[in-house]
């Protein structure tokens, strides 16, 4: 499940060589995997031309290996080189010399001749935008792909950063990508995930022991990452052992969001769940709920009083709460308790800077908050988080993130990490490539969320899943990672037509499958978008 940045992968390559693995053997293994993928992409039958587009570095060396092996298997192969043969050095030069075919200049006409194009121009470590002839080559590959050719990228599509999934200029749009030893963050983060197409992880002879020296702290989110910490009650367990989750309801017009969170907390295994709120909200919640309990709590003081009983050990506030002074005061009261806390939606916006900024953000959703007479900027929230021992999880989408962390810039993985350090909380930066970050630097990237999760209320369900797992004493980072994965898996199981109410009802099926199967750490299987 480890993901390696460009720099970490370079360390792994060097460590393998120091351990006695020939760098030529590594290149041969990588090229062999590329050749196998290209042959599969070409399929049976004659008449297809494979164009291998090679760059001047080791990525091009992998391309020379693939071209040699494909030609030996009887494929019609043409090889185009960006630059001159005389400029090739080291292993790339050695592999070019083993290639028995013609090395042609890489031109648009040559690319146009390919039915299958292998992009071996530049690997994940490219640190600058493409320029000159490289731009022309990338554009020609993309034009040919639109004309019907299939494109296979080596390591990452040329022009894409393996560390961030971002591109500063033109980038190859691939149908498939073959990478080696470990995936990189750029394979999972958008737009990289879309530009890579289907990603295959191929083994090469880098010893697993090199990971100990690297100490990877970025992971592909999945059961192998958090399954050992997932709560599993024994035969003597009772509901009080499984924790008591509390969900703070919004006003009478927005109670549904809190009920979605409460239902999810109960479904994921919390022993008890209570919805608390105003008398009017509680009257509505009481009509809808059966297994979830309801209680009246009069404002922030009532919330604080309810949490004085430390058996109520996990709290969610934010869904439908309103981004006003009452919500801000309730958040601060909750953070003064001993419970684990999930802050979602309005609980975040209530602290998103000066009241004028909050009003601007809130008005875009059709309501105006009251101007608060307390300090409700992000720093106040972070101070309250920093003064407690129990964990806090923040669940912003991109808009909420920008308002809560206005000074944090960069790629998605870097921003999530910086926000976790700044806030002292586990941060879930939501999206199709959700990133979960811990203040200690650990981070996970999720890849199983289908597009139909973009529906009203799905975020409320996610917040409830986290709360339910925290109530069962699962560590915060693992709770967040598990909840995000379960959320996506439930949506995948349901399929198209999903609405938020369906997600908790899919959990029994997902959990049953999770506990029935063994969860191996993937080594050489394929990952598809």
* Residues 76-100 pLDDT 10s: 999 999 999 999 999 999 999 999 9
**Residue 519, pLDDT score:** 47
What integer is the mean pLDDT of 477-485?
98
Q: Is 366 exposed, middle or buried (0-12, 13-18, 19+ CB in 10 A)?
A: exposed
* Residues 401-411 pLDDT 10s: 999 999 999 99
* 496 phi and psi angles, rounded to 5 deg: -65, 155
Distance CA 147, CA 224 (A): 41
Percent residues over pLDDT 90 in the chain: 87
Report the alpha-carbon angle 226-269-494, nearest 5.
80
**Residue 353, pLDDT score:** 66
Query: What's the pTM?
Result: 0.93
Distance CA 172, CA 160 (A): 8
Report DSSP state, residue 490: H
> What tokens were used for 267?
């479904």
Report DSSP state, residue 410: S
Distance CA 145, CA 149 (A): 5
Are 183 and 33 a contacting pair, CB within 8 Å? no
Distance CA 122, CA 135 (A): 12
Q: Tell me the CB-side half-sphere exposure of residue 459, using CA atoms within 13 A.
A: 23
Please report which helix (H) or strand (E) contains residue 316, including its range.
Answer: strand 312-317
- pLDDT above 80 for 517: no
What integer is the mean pLDDT of 134-142?
98
Distance CA 157, CA 171 (A): 7
* Residues 338-386 pLDDT 10s: 999 999 999 999 998 654 344 444 444 444 344 445 778 999 999 999 9
Q: Which of 253, 206, 219 is nearest to 9 (CA)?
A: 206
**Residue 233, pLDDT score:** 80
* Residues 231-280 pLDDT 10s: 988 877 788 889 999 999 999 999 999 999 999 999 999 999 999 999 99
Distance CA 282, CA 259 (A): 11
Q: Which of 103, 114, 108 is nearest to 47 (CA)?
A: 114
**Residue 354, pLDDT score:** 57
What integer is the mean pLDDT of 40-50?
87
**Residue 524, pLDDT score:** 40
Lowest mean pLDDT among 317-321, 367-371, 396-400, 506-510: 367-371
Q: DSSP string covering 51-105, please?
A: EEEE-SSHHHHHHHHHHHHHHHTT-EEEEEESS-GGG--HHHHHHHHH--S-EEE
Are 296 and 284 a contacting pair, CB within 8 Å? no
In order of their start, the domains of the chain are: 2-214 (3.40.50.10260), 223-229+242-513 (3.40.1190.20)
Q: Is the dihedral of CA 330, 250, 346, 263 positive or negative?
A: positive
- pLDDT above 50 for 191: yes
């Amino acid at each position: 499940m480890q993901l390696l940045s460009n720099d970490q992968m370079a360390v792994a390559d060097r460590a393998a060589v120091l351990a006695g693995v020939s760098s030529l053997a590594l290149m041969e293994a990588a090229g062999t995997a590329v050749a196998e993928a290209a042959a599969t992409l070409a399929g049976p039958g004659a008449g297809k031309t494979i164009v291998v587009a090679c760059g001047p570095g080791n990525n091009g060396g992998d391309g020379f290996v693939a071209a040699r092996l494909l030609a030996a298997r009887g494929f019609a192969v043409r090889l185009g080189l960006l630059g001159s043969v005389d400029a090739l050095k080291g292993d790339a030069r050695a592999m070019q010399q083993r290639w028995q075919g013609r090395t042609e200049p890489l031109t648009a006409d040559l690319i146009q001749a390919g039915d299958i194009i292998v992009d071996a121009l530049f690997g994940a470590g490219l640190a600058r935008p493409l320029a000159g002839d490289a731009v022309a080559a990338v554009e020609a590959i993309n034009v040919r792909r639109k004309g019907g050719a299939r494109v296979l990228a080596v390591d990452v599509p040329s022009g894409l950063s393996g560390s961030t999934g971002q591109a500063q200029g033109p980038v190859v749009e691939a149908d498939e990508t073959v990478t080696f030893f470990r995936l990189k963050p750029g394979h999972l983060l958008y737009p990289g995930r879309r530009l890579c197409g289907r990603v295959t992880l191929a083994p090469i002879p880098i010893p697993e022991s090199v990971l100990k020296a690297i100490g990877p702290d970025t992971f592909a989110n999945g059961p192998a990452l958090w399954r050992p910490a997932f709560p599993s009650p024994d035969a003597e367990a009772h509901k009080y052992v499984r924790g008591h989750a509390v969900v703070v309801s919004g006003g009478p017009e927005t109670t549904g969001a809190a009920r979605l969170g409460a239902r999810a907390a109960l479904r994921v295994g919390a022993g008890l769940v209570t919805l608390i709120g105003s008398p009017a909200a509680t009257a509505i919640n009481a009509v809808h709920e059966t297994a979830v309990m309801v209680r009246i709590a009069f404002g922030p003081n009532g919330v604080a009083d309810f949490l004085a009983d430390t058996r109520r050990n996990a709290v969610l506030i934010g869904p439908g709460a309103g981004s006003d002074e009452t919500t801000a005061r309730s958040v601060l009261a909750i953070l003064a308790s001993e419970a684990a806390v999930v802050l979602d939606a309005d609980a975040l916006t209530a602290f998103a800077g000066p009241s004028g900024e909050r009003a601007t953000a809130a008005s875009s959703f059709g309501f105006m908050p009251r101007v608060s007479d307390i300090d409700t900027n992000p720093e106040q929230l972070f101070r309250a988080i920093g003064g407690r021992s129990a964990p806090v999880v923040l669940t912003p989408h991109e808009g909420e993130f920008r308002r809560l962390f206005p000074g944090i810039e960069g790629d998605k993985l870097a921003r999530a990490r910086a926000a976790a350090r700044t806030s002292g909380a586990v941060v879930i930066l939501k999206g199709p490539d959700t990133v979960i970050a811990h203040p200690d630097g650990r981070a996970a990237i999720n890849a199983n969320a289908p597009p139909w999760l973009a529906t009203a209320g799905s975020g409320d369900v996610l917040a409830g899943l986290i709360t339910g797992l925290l109530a069962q004493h699962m560590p915060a980072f693992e709770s967040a990672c598990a909840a995000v994965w379960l959320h996506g898996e439930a949506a995948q199981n349901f399929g198209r037509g999903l609405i938020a109410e369906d997600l908790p009802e899919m959990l029994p099926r997902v959990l049953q499958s999770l506990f029935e199967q063994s969860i191996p750490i993937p080594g050489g299987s394929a990952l598809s978008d």
